[in-house]
Amino acid sequence: MFSSLNLDAQILRAIEEEGYTEPTPIQAQAIPHVLAGRDLMAMAQTGTGKTAAFTLPLLQRLLPHASTSTSPARHPIRALILAPTRELAIQVEKSVETYSKYVPLRSTVVFGGIDIKTQKPALAKGVEILVATPGRLLDHVESRNLMLNQVQILILDEADRMLDMGFMPDLKRILTLLPKQRQTLLFSATFSDDIKKLAQDFLANPVTVEAERRNTAAETVTQSVLMVDHDNKFDVLADLIRSRGLGSQVLVFTRTKLTAAQLARKLERVGIPSDAIHGDKTQQERINALDAFKANKITALVATDVAARGLDIDQLPLVVNYELPTNAEDYVHRIGRTGRAGASGEAISLVDGEEERRLVEIEKLLKREFPRERAAVSVAPRAAPSHRPAKAAAPSHAHAHARKPAADDWFMKPYVPSPSASKVEEQPAFCPDKPKKQLAALLCRPPEKS
Please give the residue ranges that form the binding site for ligand AMP (CB under 6 A): 20, 23-24, 27, 46-52, 312, 314, 340-341
Give residue 234's identity as a one-letter amino acid code: F
CB nearer to ligand AMP: pick between 23 and 271 = 23
Q: 103-123: b or e for each residue (b if 16 or more CB lie within 10 Å)?
A: bebbbbbbbbbeeeeebeebb
214: region left, alpha or beta (phi > 0 left; psi from -120 to 50 alpha): beta
CB nearer to ligand AMP: pick between 278 and 340 = 340
Which candidate, 222, 189, 212, 215, places its Cα nearest to that of 339? 222
CB nearer to ligand AMP: pick between 20 and 253 = 20
For the CB of residue 218, give the shortest distance to ligand AMP in the complex, in Å: 10
CB nearer to ligand AMP: pick between 20 and 293 = 20
Which helix (H) or strand (E) segment is 197 a member of? helix 193-202
How is 283-333 classified by DSSP, letter by letter? Answer: HHHHHHHHHHHHTTS-SEEEE-HHHHTT---TT--EEEESS--SSHHHHHH
Neighbour order of strands in the sheet with 153-156: 107-110, 129-132, 79-82, 153-156, 183-188, 40-43, 207-210
For the CB of residue 98, give the shortest distance to ligand AMP in the complex, in Å: 8
**φ/ψ of residue 403, rounded to 5:** -70, 130
**φ/ψ of residue 82, rounded to 5:** -100, 135
Let me know how long the chain is.
450
CB nearer to ligand AMP: pick between 314 and 408 = 314
60: region left, alpha or beta (phi > 0 left; psi from -120 to 50 alpha): alpha
Q: How far apart are CA 381 and CA 358, in angstroms?
A: 33
CB nearer to ligand AMP: pick between 306 and 443 = 306
How crowded is residue 91: how many other Cβ atoms within 10 Å of its Cβ? Answer: 22
For the CB of residue 446, give the shortest distance to ligand AMP in the complex, in Å: 45
For the CB of residue 157, give the shortest distance to ligand AMP in the complex, in Å: 9
For the CB of residue 306, give the shortest distance to ligand AMP in the complex, in Å: 17
Q: How far apart are CA 378 and CA 373, in angstroms?
A: 16
CB nearer to ligand AMP: pick between 21 and 450 = 21
For the CB of residue 85, give the shortest distance to ligand AMP in the complex, in Å: 13
For the CB of residue 420, give the shortest distance to ligand AMP in the complex, in Å: 49
CB nearer to ligand AMP: pick between 27 and 299 = 27
Give residue 101's identity as a one-letter amino acid code: K
For the CB of residue 196, give the shortest distance to ligand AMP in the complex, in Å: 22
For the CB of residue 47, give the shortest distance to ligand AMP in the complex, in Å: 5
CB nearer to ligand AMP: pick between 50 and 334 = 50
